[in-house]
Amino acid sequence: MPKIVETIEINSSLDRLWEVISDVDDEAEYWWGTRKVRNISKDGNVINREIYQNFGNHPILQKVILKPQSEIETQYIKGITEGIKYLKVDPLNGNQQKLTVDWNIRFTGIYWLLTPFIIGHVRKGTREALSRIKDASEGGPIQRREQITKKN
């Protein structure tokens, strides 16, 4: 399975960073590869849902496990993407956090032929998402998807 690891340092409180990343219903604002999120069920810190990505119109079944102020584990259970993604928060000091995204995924069906291209796309999208998360966590302006769409 292809592995992608990206990290960013964020100048904000742990509470603020967690507030931004744990709002998984708003994930598409930061992770632009995600077009739509549909929750199926929620039991405490475990959410079962479907997401739709920008390429293709096929749902991906996910299980999201929130581990407060430390980690979000997203299991890609069934769909064109399968595997796992972790968002890990490591406090550096009171107002500085390190956020790491660790992907271990594979692509199913015909998409496995495009793995090198898709991995590059996921890596770039991850870097951009981390930048948007940093901006939101630090209280700066974040670039919204609709702003980009209106410009083009």
Nearest to 76 by CA among 87, 64, 67, 66: 64
Sort strands 59-67 and 3-10 into parallel, antiparallel or unpaired.
unpaired
- Which position has the token pair 């974040």? 142
Q: Could you give the maximum distance between any two Cα atoms of the chain, in Å?
A: 46
pLDDT at 94: 80
Q: What is the pLDDT of residues 18-70, one digit of tens each?
A: 999 999 999 999 998 899 999 999 999 999 999 998 776 789 999 999 999 99
pLDDT at 96: 97
Task: Map out the domains of the chain with their CATH numbers.
Answer: 3-147 (3.30.530.20)
pLDDT at 149: 46
pLDDT at 79: 87
Nearest to 32 by CA among 152, 140, 130, 137: 130
Q: Which two tokens stand for residue 66?
A: 């929130």
pTM of the full structure: 0.87
Distance of alpha carbon 62 from alpha carbon 133, whole angstroms: 21
pLDDT at 112: 64
pLDDT at 50: 96
pLDDT at 92: 95
What confidence tier does 120 reach under pLDDT thresholds 50, 70, 90?
confident
- For the segment 87-98, the average pLDDT, to the nearest whole number, is 94
